[in-house]
Chains A and B, each alone.
Chain A
Amino acid sequence: MDILQILLTDSFWAAALRIATPLIFGVLGALICEKAGVLNLGIEGIFAAGAMAGWLAVYLGAGLWGGLLVAALTGAFFGLLHAILTVPLGLSQHVSGLGITLFATSVSYFTYRTALPDVSSPPRIIPFQPLDIPVLSDLPFIGPVLFQQTAMTWLALALVALVWWVLERTPLGMAIRAVGDNPDAVDAQGLSVYALRMGAVVAGSALMALGGAFLTMSAFDAFFFGMVNGRGWICIALVIFASWRPGKALLGALLFGAFDAFQVRMQTEVGAFVPSQVFLMIPYVLSIIALVLVARRAEYPRALLKPWFKGQR
């Protein structure tokens, strides 16, 4: 197969969208937090927690949608922790976020080991299945790419539109954007800076956990240690790439998914004489280059990372 022919196959684009799905959840979550002025570096750990909690809930019989709910609540819990530490207490968002990542990851592994002490090979669940929509799923090219994905991919795409609508078209979104730019403006209008920021962090963290849950409940059917593998960090970079816009966030996630799908196929083409690590590196290197090209023009939310305290004008 020729290298450029890869780009024309439906399996390549289907894979790109599949790989992008957890990133879409994660980047939307990180975007909501940062729009309100709080960087959430807990994302990597919240992915792991979401992956574990969602999977475990399904394994214990909660059903797939129940599992997603459990994952979201788990993410919201760690988000609340981060929010309490960084918003009313005003601690360093970097330190708190990294702490949350370490904490959430360890707790997830610990819970997994404690809940299933005797298993040697990871137990499996029945994950979300590819959709089978009459006519649409059978269309050439478009069918496999769009209509044979799982419900979670469609949930992610719907959330892009929802997050955009809320941020740009509702009073709540306006208040969130304002609190990330100038908390004094929000306070002067009698709105609660703390409630808005904490709410945004909790909601954003719930979305991040759904990204993690996709890994165990759609992409795979089991939980492994180290399965998040830096996807959370990629989301933090993608938010900057996206200039804090949901539409561009989708684009960035798809771009990364395409890079990743491409490198897998490149491995089979020329893997005989190039070490596989080089291919694994490609999406990250390309992401860094894309970030460098885009991020210099990025307009950060002005109050990002800046704690705000009531009564200190």
Chain B
Amino acid sequence: MTENTVLALNGLSKRFGSVVANDAVNLTLKRGEVLALLGENGAGKTTLMNMLFGHYLPDTGSVDVADGHGRLRPLTLGHPQAALAAGIGMVHQHFALAENLTALDNILLGGESLLSWRQNRRAARTKVQGIIERSGLAAPLDEPVGNLSVGERQRVEILKALYHDARILVLDEPTAVLTPQEADTLFENIGAMTRDGLSVIFISHKLREVLAFSHRIAVLRHGKKVGEIATAEADEQIIARMMVGADTEVAPHPAMETGAPVLQMTSLRVRGSNARTSLNGVDLTVHAHEIVGIAGVSGNGQTALAQVVSGLVAPDGGDIRIEDAPIRHFTPPAMLKAGVGRIPEDRNHDGIIGAMSVAENLIIERLDAPEVSAKGFLRQAEIRNHAKTLCTEYDVRGPGVDAPARLLSGGNVQKLILARVFEAAPRLILANQPTRGLDLGATNEVGRRLLEARAKGSGVLLISEDLDEILALSDRVVVIHDGQLIEANTKDRAQIGLMMAGEHA
């Protein structure tokens, strides 16, 4: 540890239930340095920073922060106030601003004794204006924050941290909500501030800005720090490989002759309110006996793609065909009828009705089938028998078919959904993050079932943020970036990683 170290994280670990969010992470930061924290979604970047700022209490580990004289002192963990007092400022991805207060009042909040009889706005304004001059972070101070643009709000957040004398600034995905121009300005401002001695950690998964604006890069993967490199020695290949990892083998995967197209999208457009829910003219074909994997960093249009295929939104342009029949009505029942089976991303929220029984959840997508209902009445006995058969076949374990589905564990909920989907013998299966949060056994089961459906002649559209899973299961990999699809034509991790970051390798 050198004289210049302002921050040291020592072996921080955090578990949420059975999920290990961070595993003994060490990290140091020097005065005036810009450190980029990189990693895929769920790699534990935000959790790490929330521990630093006191929002979470780590299970093990400690943090040392330099005081005003540069001496490292242990930080009291679990208290945002202690982090603030130690000179750590954090700008969250979701801004912590009161919209009914002006920008200036938001900056002042918490800076004065609550017992003082009046506010000293004039002195505060002078100080804020001094900071604005030095950093270039301009914001209208007397507007209520509710009237400000996203970029302005972010500058208010940073000004707030600087006003409270932050010597270390943590930015959680600062450019996720900014236009490219705003992002460039932000990094220019950060450059100006670091020359004044500020140290910055920023979280990102955009390789380009990381390489352009950081001094050092630390990469997290599955909660562990898997690498650290000076930016000057890094290039996109190296970082992409660190991010996605190259330590797992692609599982064997029997070759199979593909059949006729089951899903055809032509110049499909969805104008959503943000990048997550927009598609900008995509072409995609999925054949029978084929699994097509959609790889990408979350928030690049996966949601829009899944919503269109499940019938939750209607496209604003373009053409979509299931088994060569054009789709005109974009409703979930129409898509079900056309032969789409859906494994939703948020299985507990969109996949089951927790208060209803396991048996009811198993028949809920085909209430008017003759074996389910007759003359307007549900056939209870058949439904229960049917559920018992399926639960045995798909190994759904729990308190029985009459118990509410919410009592099932995550893996068993997913098996219930698999049973419901596969039993309808769909032509196209939409599997959206099908193994997220599942243990190894359930994960393997999902993979096995998807391959089995493929063997039986279904086409599978697999959307996942887990590149390992995509490479293991897919016949073809398509990368989604910024609402557009690019055929990968390769199974090379590093190359796909680059494409996920928007670089055409």
- Give me the interface of A with B, judged by CB distance under 8 Å: 169-172, 174-175, 177-178, 180-182, 184-191, 299, 301-302, 311, 313
Contacts and interface: CB of A to CB of B under 8 A. Distances in A.
A311 B110 contact: no
A299 B144 CA distance: 13
B56 A311 contact: yes
A311 B57 CA distance: 9
B435 interface: no
A190 B80 CA distance: 5
Given A182-B99, A185-B97, A311 B55 contact: yes
Contact of B108 (A171, A177, A302): A171
Can you list the 9 inter-chain pairs with the closest CB atoms, starting with the nearest? A189-B110, A190-B81, A178-B98, A188-B96, A181-B98, A171-B112, A184-B96, A172-B114, A185-B96
B97 A182 contact: yes
Contacts of B160: 189
Given A170-B117, A186-B98, A187-B80, 6 more contacts: A171-B108, A171-B119, A178-B101, A184-B96, A189-B111, A191-B114
Given A169-B119, A191-B110, A181 B101 contact: yes
Interface in B103-160: 105-106, 108-119, 160
Q: Interface of chain B, helix or strand or loop or mixed?
A: loop
Contact of B100 (A171, A177, A313): A177
19 contacts: A170-B114, A170-B117, A170-B119, A171-B111, A171-B113, A172-B115, A174-B101, A175-B110, A178-B101, A182-B98, A182-B99, A185-B96, A188-B80, A188-B92, A189-B80, A189-B84, A189-B160, A311-B56, A313-B50
B106 A185 contact: yes
B96 A187 contact: yes
A80 to B, nearest CB: 19
B98 A170 contact: no
B428 interface: no
Measured as residues with beta carbon below 8 angstroms from the partner, the interface class of chain B is 20 to 34
B478 interface: no
B118 A177 contact: no
A191 B113 CA distance: 11
B294 interface: no
A175 to B, nearest CB: 6
B90 interface: yes
B81 A182 contact: no
Nearest to A302: B99
A187 B164 CA distance: 14
A181 B146 CA distance: 11
Contacts of B50: 313
B110 A190 contact: yes
B84 A177 contact: no
B96 A174 contact: no
Nearest to A176: B114
B50 to A, nearest CB: 7
B479 to A, nearest CB: 31
B96 A182 contact: yes
Nearest to B78: A311
Contacts of B92: 184, 188, 313
B170 to A, nearest CB: 12
Given A171-B112, A187-B96, A189-B110, A177 B101 contact: yes
Contact of B109 (A180, A189, A311): A189
A166 B164 CA distance: 23
Contacts of B99: 181-182, 302
B76 to A, nearest CB: 12
A242 B338 CA distance: 55
B80 A174 contact: no
B153 to A, nearest CB: 11
Contacts of A301: 100
Nearest to B106: A185
A191 B160 CA distance: 14
Contacts of A171: 108, 111-114, 116, 119
Contacts of B118: 169-170
Given A169-B119, A190-B84, A185 B114 contact: no
A126 to B, nearest CB: 36
A259 B250 CA distance: 80
Contact of B110 (A180, A184, A186, A299): A186
Nearest to A190: B81
Contacts of A174: 101, 105, 108-109, 119
Contacts of B113: 171
Contacts of A175: 109-110, 114
B55 A313 contact: yes
Contacts of B96: 182, 184-185, 187-188
Nearest to A35: B100
Nearest to A178: B98
A253 B160 CA distance: 39
A216 to B, nearest CB: 33
A171 B110 CA distance: 8
A148 B96 CA distance: 50
A313 to B, nearest CB: 6
Contacts of A191: 109-110, 114
B105 to A, nearest CB: 5
A184 B92 CA distance: 10
